[in-house]
Amino acid sequence: MSMRFSVLAMAGVLAVGSIQAEVYRWVDERGKVHFSDQPKSGGAQRLELSEPEPSPGGINQQQLDAERRIQQERMLDAYREEREARAQQRQQAAAEERQRSQNCAYARNRLREYGNARLYQPLEDGGRRYLDNAERQREIERAEAAVQRWCDS
């Protein structure tokens, strides 16, 4: 059985080569060109046909696919970098907001203390020098400016 199958397979392979059709070209009395698989008596010319060359389109398509992948990777890298930059900006803005909030709380506390107490400057010998009304008013104005700067922006 296997011998029979082998013989049939070999015959089929050999037959494929012989099945390849021949093409003939000729011109009739009216000048019209004809193509056929059987030669016309007289001036029929046999045409040699070969396997078509692989189209360069396949190569170009592979090249286009590779370029497209490279472009997609570049775009993904750019998007990733942009996301990372935005995340870093958000973190920086959050840190600045925390610092501003702390500075605001400190400035409000100082202003409240300046309004309720007598202000003094410590001396090198450990004593205190109390501020007069004009100096005290200047310190309160500076504290109000700090509150305005850190809390009202």
Q: What is the pLDDT of residues 33-82, one digit of tens each?
A: 777 777 777 677 777 776 666 555 556 888 889 999 999 999 999 999 99
Angstrom CA distances, 89 to 95, 101, 110, stand at 10, 18, 31
**pLDDT over 90 for what percent of the chain?**
36
In angstroms, the CA 35 to CA 40 distance is 10
Angstrom CA distances, 143 to 14, 107, 112, 135, 151, stand at 104, 6, 9, 12, 12
Helix (H) or strand (E) holding 121: strand 120-122
Q: What is the reported pTM?
A: 0.46
Mean pLDDT of the chain: 81
pLDDT category, 114, cuts 50, 70, 90?
A: confident
